Amino acid sequence: MNHFLQSEYAPVAPDAAGFHIIPVPFERSVSYGCGTERGPESIIAASQQLEAFDGVGFPGALGMHTTAAVETSGSTEHVMDAISCRVKRALDACALPVMLGGEHTVSFGAIRAAHQHLGQIGIVQIDAHADLRDQYEGSKWSHACVMRRVSEMGIPILQIGVRSLCAEELKARKSLNVTCLDAQDIHRGVALSDVMPADFPKQVYVTFDVDGLDASLMPATGTPEPGGLTFWQALDLVAEATRDRDVVGLDVVELAPQAGLHHADYTAAKLAYCLMGLARPASASASS
Ligand SMILES: [Mn+2]
């Protein structure tokens, strides 16, 4: 089955869908463990085991259209253009783009399209890493640089769950005015409301690197880090960060499936579905 949660919902036409699910099996700069190119297909396979009810409502009732996978064989710039094009198509259809990565680099193409199409947006990033290096292993397009590239577009960023940083990133956070609620802060009781700027944009794009979750529940990722978020912590923080805001797009990236660890694939699929529920495109009501 090639469509997200096809087991519960027949795929709908692009113009009738509340969500465009966009698989992007892109893997180029992964520096430690590998396998993110198999992330999208594993998430879609695992999604067939989900229930239609996400615990709150029925996100799938808004209609889901899973597109063909984005072609990832050309230059990175070319792939980013292809992603932007696909995301723009979703926005033009008044659907919420839901991108399945792939390494974190793919978020650049989606965020750029949302920014160009919708004007001012902010980023809610759940991640173990800041991804703010200017270059990594000789590449500006490394997954470790993606939020630096986003910040260069003048887009405000809120980072949640970070717990692994280099000195360059510590400096970059200050100079780029990045808002942070690190994993240690959360553990010690700091609230999102303590750090959230009052003027954070009303339109937000949610990028969820699965390594933001604790490595014990998400071992299937390139650089698993201890001390991460629980499933409910992560969802509650995304809900809080997006409350009274419009979610204009989202992605789940950096799943690197491992044979025999199907719980990780399922966790990523459930995460994607619950995030779709939280996002609730303005056009739709939740229940069915
Ligand atoms: Mn990341």
For every residue of 58-104, DSSP letters joined together read -GGGG-EEEPPPPP--S-HHHHHHHHHHHHHHHHHTT-EEEEEESST
CATH at residue 107: 3.40.800.10
pLDDT tens digit at each of 288 positions of the chain: 799 999 999 999 999 999 999 999 999 976 667 899 999 999 999 999 999 999 999 999 999 999 999 999 999 999 999 999 999 999 999 999 999 999 999 999 999 999 999 999 999 999 999 999 999 999 999 999 999 999 999 999 999 999 999 999 999 999 999 999 999 999 999 999 999 999 999 999 999 999 999 999 999 999 999 999 999 999 999 999 999 999 999 999 999 999 999 999 999 999 999 999 999 765 554 443
Domain around 262: 14-279
Residue 30 in tokens: 């992964």
Q: Is residue 217 part of a domain?
A: yes
Q: Is residue 106 part of a domain?
A: yes
> How far away, in angstroms, is 208 Cα from ligand 1 center?
8
Q: Is residue 71 part of a domain?
A: yes
Q: Is residue 78 part of a domain?
A: yes
| Environment of ion ligand 1 (residues, CB < 5 A) | 104, 127, 131, 209
Q: 54 vs 59, 61, 275, CA distance in Å?
A: 7, 11, 10
What gap in Å lies between CA 5 and CA 9, rounded to an integer?
Answer: 6
> How far away, in angstroms, is 225 Cα from ligand 1 center?
12
Q: Is residue 129 part of a domain?
A: yes
Q: For residue 34, what pLDDT is reported?
A: 86
* CA-closest candidate to residue 273, choices 21, 1, 2: 21
Q: Is residue 285 part of a domain?
A: no
What letter does residue 110 receive in the DSSP assignment?
H
Q: Is residue 4 part of a domain?
A: no
> How far away, in angstroms, is 229 Cα from ligand 1 center?
14
Q: Is residue 220 part of a domain?
A: yes
Tally the domains of the chain: 1
Element (H, E) at 40: helix 39-47
